[in-house]
């Protein structure tokens, strides 16, 4: 890789808060970079991107200008587009502007660019550029500016937001009162946390990072002693796959996974989990299911070792009847949960006592919540991964009340309290470990909001985990890679089949394509 490619790979993984971004910028200014020059550079990059996207000549561009340096960026963009032949109109309802922003406004007006205080004046513009507020916004928007944003959101023109859609909180992604619903957002310098939050997704549109050459050393200096947020990238996920295999190997060297899943009531969950595990390439796959399910599993996965177990009256696994000379320590990893029903409580308790790395999902999480999340996990002597959706999360961690308010905080607290790696499913999946580090999946598709989709993830994760135990891959990276793989397959499937065409079984059929595409 060239130095530039290395930089791109590194920058694309970094996620910062507003406070961290300000600290990084202050270091750059303290080192001698003039504020004016940086604004000129950043806005120049944005202008060039806009020129590439907006047809020149007959387009009228409306530029929304706020009081701070986000507004300053917008005014430099307005000036540059004016010189490139666009018709530019400015909306600026503020009487008090930061000094640099005021200077740029003065110059724009001297060039004859019209400037209005009423947003309605911009109604006939073909596109809008939003430079009202960036990461300096902390207070709730109200009065005239909130009314203006609500009005703008009813218009049909594309809106290009600078740094963030104005009104969004840089960290939580919450709309502070109201926020611009952008078509496209240019995130400046480094990914801000808001870009990886579910609640921001209705506002961001297409998000693009504009790298303006922040020195990595400054980023490292600011982030060195704090819990890190890592954006999961394709390059990193691919690097953490168990590829290439060693030329000389055998099945047990490539990981042995035990899946524990299924019941009479939920037979399909076991199949989907197993198909996810199969796609992971795991060397040996054992699947413990109620006896009744054994023939069905064998017919779907002839290569797997299917262990039929005695059943409860309700059709759940009554006890784990492993083959002779086998106990739970035989396996490199265990994944348990999909389709179990709550009647399999003793099985979950037994598996929790093993010293093997464990993925818990679905009913295993509900059972864990019933037997006591924290007290049970504190006794574990091996890594545990929990993969709850929001409902399961609330049952597991009832003492963390404000999950909706701040998911990042909630999932971090959960990992800290339990010592487990916690993956919170959502449009933007979050993964936290007990040391306060966080991994965020930047891409997914609503096509995956379907029954059985999570079972596939459990299978992939279990399979990758079993293989990773034979290699030097951190468990958090395995979880991140599984999450990436799952959503990537969903994205590819949705591209070919629409968002309605990605049932969980179909999803399993796209898993290979997702990684082949990247090689």
Q: Which is nearer to ligand NAX, 194 or 334 (CB)?
A: 194
Rounded Cα distance, 87 and 125, in Å: 9
391 a known binding residue? no
Distances (CA, A) of 482 to 233, 248, 411, 478, 485: 12, 25, 18, 6, 5
72 a known binding residue? yes
Query: Of ligand NAX, K ion, none, which one sits near residue 130, judging by CB under 5 to 8 A according to partner kind?
Result: K ion
Nearest approach, Cβ of residue 216 and ligand NAX (Å): 17
134 a known binding residue? yes
Tell which one of 12, 20, 47, 161 touches K ion (CB under 5 A): 161
136 class by beta-carbon count within 10 Å (0-12 exposed, 13-18 middle, 19+ buried): middle
Query: Of ligand NAX, K ion, none, which one sits near residue 137, judging by CB under 5 to 8 A according to partner kind?
Result: ligand NAX
Q: Which is nearer to ligand NAX, 98 or 103 (CB)?
A: 98
Q: Which residues contact 164 (CB under 8 A, 6 or more apart)?
A: 133, 134, 135, 137, 170, 185, 187, 192, 194
Strands (E) in 325-432, as ranges, are 333-336, 358-360, 384-386, 421-424, 430-432
Helix (H, G, I), strand (E, B) or coil at 272: helix
Is residue 444 within 8 A of residue 491, CB to CB? The reply is yes
Distances (CA, A) of 492 to 441, 447, 454, 455, 461: 16, 10, 17, 19, 19
85 a known binding residue? no
Query: Of K ion, ligand NAX, none, which one sits near residue 190, judging by CB under 5 to 8 A according to partner kind?
Result: none
Q: How far is CA 417 from the centre of its chain?
A: 22
Query: Of ligand NAX, K ion, none, which one sits near residue 141, judging by CB under 5 to 8 A according to partner kind?
Result: ligand NAX
363 a known binding residue? no
Q: Which is nearer to ligand NAX, 139 or 519 (CB)?
A: 139
Nearest approach, Cβ of residue 173 and ligand NAX (Å): 15
Rounded Cα distance, 90 and 78, in Å: 8
Rounded Cα distance, 452 and 440, in Å: 22
Query: Of ligand NAX, K ion, none, which one sits near residue 468, judging by CB under 5 to 8 A according to partner kind?
Result: none
**Total of chain residues touching K ion, rule CB under 5 A:** 5
Nearest approach, Cβ of residue 167 and ligand NAX (Å): 9
Nearest approach, Cβ of residue 189 and K ion (Å): 14
Q: Which is nearer to K ion, 130 or 392 (CB)?
A: 130
Question: How, if at all, do strands 60-65 and 256-260 pair?
Answer: unpaired
104 a known binding residue? no
Query: Of K ion, ligand NAX, none, which one sits near residue 325, judging by CB under 5 to 8 A according to partner kind?
Result: none
Residue (of 438, 488, 13) closest to 209 by Cα position: 13
Rounded Cα distance, 427 and 198, in Å: 6
177 a known binding residue? no
Residue (of 310, 213, 305, 207) closest to 256 by Cα position: 305
Number of helices and strands (H, E) in the chain?
20, 19
Binding-site ranges for ligand NAX (CB under 6 A): 25, 35, 38-39, 42, 66-71, 73, 98, 133-141, 145, 162-163, 188
Q: Which is nearer to ligand NAX, 145 or 511 (CB)?
A: 145
Q: How many CB atoms lie within 10 A of CB 300?
A: 17
Query: Of ligand NAX, K ion, none, which one sits near residue 73, judging by CB under 5 to 8 A according to partner kind?
Result: ligand NAX
299 a known binding residue? no
Residues 119-138 that bind K ion (CB under 5 A): 130
429 a known binding residue? yes
135 a known binding residue? yes
Rounded Cα distance, 457 and 469, in Å: 18
Q: Which is nearer to ligand NAX, 137 or 258 (CB)?
A: 137
308 a known binding residue? no
Nearest approach, Cβ of residue 108 and ligand NAX (Å): 16
251 a known binding residue? no
Question: How, if at all, do strands 127-131 and 115-116 pair?
Answer: unpaired
Q: Which is nearer to K ion, 161 or 273 (CB)?
A: 161
Is residue 320 within 8 A of residue 291, CB to CB? The reply is no
140 a known binding residue? yes
- The token duo for 403 is 């999950």
User: Is residue 185 near K ion by the rule CB under 5 A?
Assistant: no
Q: Which residues contact 274 (CB under 8 A, 6 or more apart)?
A: 259, 261, 285, 287, 297, 300, 301, 304, 459
Q: Which is nearer to ligand NAX, 136 or 346 (CB)?
A: 136
User: Is residue 183 near K ion by the rule CB under 5 A?
Assistant: no
Binding string, 454-473, against K ion, x = CB under 5 A?
--------------------
Binding string, 59-78, against K ion, x = CB under 5 A?
-----------x--------
Q: Which is nearer to K ion, 149 or 438 (CB)?
A: 149
Question: At residue 263, what are phi and psi to the nearest 5 degrees?
Answer: -160, 170
Q: Which is nearer to K ion, 130 or 361 (CB)?
A: 130
User: Is residue 162 near K ion by the rule CB under 5 A?
Assistant: yes
Rounded Cα distance, 58 and 39, in Å: 27
The residue ranges that bind K ion (CB under 5 A) are 70, 130, 161-162, 166
List, as residue ranges, the binding site: 69-73, 130, 134-140, 163, 166, 339, 389, 425-429, 454-455
List, as residue ranges, the binding site for AMP: 425-429, 454
């Amino acid at each position: 890789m060239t130095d530039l490619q290395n930089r791109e790979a590194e920058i694309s993984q970094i996620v910062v808060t507003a406070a961290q971004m300000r600290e990084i910028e202050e270091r750059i200014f303290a080192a001698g970079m003039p504020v004016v020059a940086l604004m000129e550079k950043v806005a120049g990059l944005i202008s060039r991107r806009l020129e590439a996207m907006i047809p020149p000549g007959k387009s009228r561009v409306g530029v929304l200008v706020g009081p701070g340096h986000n507004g300053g960026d917008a005014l430099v963009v307005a000036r540059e587009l004016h010189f490139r032949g666009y018709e530019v109109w400015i909306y600026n309802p503020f009487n008090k502007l930061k000094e640099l922003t005021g200077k740029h406004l003065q110059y724009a007006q001297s060039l004859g660019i019209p400037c209005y205080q009423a947003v309605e004046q911009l109604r006939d513009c073909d596109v809008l550029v939003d430079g009202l507020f960036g990461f300096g916004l902390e207070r709730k928007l109200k009065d005239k500016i909130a009314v203006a944003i609500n009005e703008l959101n009813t218009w049909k023109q594309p809106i290009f937001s600078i740094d963030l859609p104005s009104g969004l909180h840089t960290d939580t992604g919450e709309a502070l009162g109201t926020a611009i619903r952008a078509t496209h957002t240019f995130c400046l310098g480094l990914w801000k946390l808001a870009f990886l939050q579910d609640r921001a997704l209705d506002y961001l549109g297409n998000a693009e990072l504009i790298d303006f050459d922040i020195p990595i050393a400054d980023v490292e200096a600011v982030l060195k002693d704090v819990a890190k947020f890592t954006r999961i990238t394709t390059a990193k996920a691919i690097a953490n796959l168990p590829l290439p295999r060693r030329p000389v190997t055998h099945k047990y060297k490539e990981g042995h996974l035990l899946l524990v899943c299924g019941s009479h009531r939920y037979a399909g969950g076991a199949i989907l989990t197993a198909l996810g595990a199969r796609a992971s390439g795991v060397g040996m796959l054992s699947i413990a299911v109620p006896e009744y399910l054994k023939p069905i599993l064998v017919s779907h996965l002839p290569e797997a070792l299917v262990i039929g177990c005695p059943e409860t009256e309700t059709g759940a696994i009554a006890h784990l009847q492993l083959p002779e000379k086998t106990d739970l320590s035989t396996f490199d990893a265990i994944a348990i949960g999909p389709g179990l029903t709550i009647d399999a409580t003793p099985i979950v308790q037994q598996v929790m006592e093993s010293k093997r790395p464990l993925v818990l999902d679905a009913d295993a999480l509900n059972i864990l919540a019933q037997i006591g999340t924290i007290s049970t996990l504190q006794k574990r002597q091996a890594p545990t991964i929990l993969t709850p959706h929001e409902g399961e999360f609330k049952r597991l961690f009832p003492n963390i009340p404000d999950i909706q308010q701040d998911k990042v905080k909630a999932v971090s607290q959960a990992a800290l309290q339990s010592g487990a790696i916690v993956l919170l499913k959502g449009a933007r999946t979050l993964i936290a470990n007990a040391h306060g580090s966080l991994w965020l999946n930047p891409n997914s598709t609503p096509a995956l909001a379907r029954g059985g989709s999570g079972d596939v993830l459990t299978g992939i994760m279990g399979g990758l985990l079993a293989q990773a135990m034979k290699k030097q891959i951190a468990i958090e990276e395995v979880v991140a890679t599984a999450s990436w793989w799952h959503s990537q397959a969903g994205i590819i499937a949705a591209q070919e089949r629409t968002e309605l065409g990605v049932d969980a079984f179909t999803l399993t059929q796209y898993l290979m394509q997702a990684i082949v595409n990247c090689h």
